[in-house]
Amino acid sequence: KAGVTQTPRYLIKTRGQQVTLSCSPISGHRSVSWYQQTPGQGLQFLFEYFSETQRNKGNFPGRFSGRQFSNSRSEMNVSTLELGDSALYLCASSRSGAVYEQYFGPGTRLTVT
Amino acid sequence: GDSVTQMEGPVTLSEEAFLTINCTYTATGYPSLFWYVQYPGEGLQLLLKATKADDKGSNKGFEATYRKETTSFHLEKGSVQVSDSAVYFCALSATGGGADGLTFGKGTHLIIQP
């Protein structure tokens, strides 16, 4: 079956702009989690959605937001981009929400100039 | 808060060598522990897991044992191959539920030379 897909795979934006990243989970999966991966901070949890509800959010500023649609697809938005937002953004989906059932997508590489 | 500490490397070994990547954690309660692997240009793949003390997770020749007394979850493999070259992440989940997210270590870059 198809895996987790993320679009776009690569993105270049300018400071101050906003960006929207998309994640399509595996069919039947209702939970989507987002992570930011940077060389300095490593992998950090952004937020998790289950059946269109955000259940938890990591320690990120309000510029980072997300949503989940009724078909379980999820988007995350970063407003007023900063250079430090350059990162690989990973999403993961699972059927029940359990972390050991999560499948990760290949990520979106965001570069802020 | 919860944290995971692992050797960052790079760790360079010859093919067929024995591998150990150390991982220790700090958490309240009884977390679930995981090892993930990331190949170049790809997302993370769950390698193995352990959900309670003394559990041993294993997959593809890799093993790790949940040691509560030493708060450790070291990854081992008896004979590594060139195809094992990747970045390995140790992680924990406070409850096992996705809503809590995973807390990751910084990752260990493993290079296997033929």
| DSSP string over B29-93 | S--EEEEEEE-TTS-EEEEEEE-STT-EEEETTEEEE-BTTTTB--EEESS--GGG-EEEEEEEE
Interface test with B, best of A60, A94, A99 (most B CBs within 10 A): A99
Q: What does the mean pLDDT of chain A come to?
A: 94
Query: Residue B41's pLDDT is what?
Result: 81
**How many C-beta atoms surround the C-beta of residue B41 within 10 A?**
9
DSSP letter, residue A70: T
Do the Cβ atoms of A56 and B100 come within 8 Å? yes
Query: Residue B42's pLDDT is what?
Result: 84
Query: Do the beta carbons of residue A57 and residue B113 sit within 8 Å?
Result: no
Looking at the predicted structure, is the pLDDT value of residue B43 above 90? no
Looking at the predicted structure, is the pLDDT value of residue B27 above 80? yes
Do the Cβ atoms of B43 and A4 come within 8 Å? yes
Query: Do the beta carbons of residue B89 and residue B103 sit within 8 Å?
Result: no
Query: Do the beta carbons of residue A34 and residue A66 sit within 8 Å?
Result: yes
Identify which has the larger pLDDT, B62 or A56.
B62
Q: Which of B42, B93, B106 sits opposite A42 (nearest CB)?
A: B106
| pLDDT tens-place string over residues A22-47 | 999 999 999 999 999 998 899 999 99
Q: Which of B44, B49, B97 sits opposite A90 (nearest CB)?
A: B44
Query: Do the beta carbons of residue B33 and residue B64 sit within 8 Å?
Result: yes
Query: Residue A1's pLDDT is what?
Result: 63
Q: Which of B32, B43, B46 sits opposite A106 (nearest CB)?
A: B43
Who's near B105: CB < 8 A, 6+ residues apart? A42, B4, B5, B6, B23, B89, B90, B91
Query: Residue B28's pLDDT is what?
Result: 82
Q: Considering chain A, what percentage of its residues have pLDDT values greater than 70? A: 99
The residues in B 2-41 lying below 8 A from A, measured between CB atoms, are 32, 34, 41
Looking at the predicted structure, is the pLDDT value of residue A71 above 70? yes
Query: Residue B97's pLDDT is what?
Result: 63
What is the C-alpha to C-alpha distance for residues B88 and B108, in angstroms, rounded to an integer?
5
Looking at the predicted structure, is the pLDDT value of residue A59 above 70? yes
Query: Residue B98's pLDDT is what?
Result: 59
Looking at the predicted structure, is the pLDDT value of residue B96 above 80? no
SS3 A18: coil
Q: Kindly list the residues from chain A whose CB atom is less than 8 angstroms away from the CB atom of residue B34.
A: 99-100
B108 touches chain A (CB under 8 A): no
DSSP letter, residue B27: -
What is the C-alpha to C-alpha distance for residues B99 and A32, in angstroms, rounded to an integer?
9
The mean per-residue pLDDT over the stretch B95-109 comes to 82
What is the C-alpha to C-alpha distance for residues A102 and B39, in angstroms, rounded to an integer?
17
The residues in B 34-93 lying below 8 A from A, measured between CB atoms, are 34, 41-46, 49, 51, 89, 91, 93
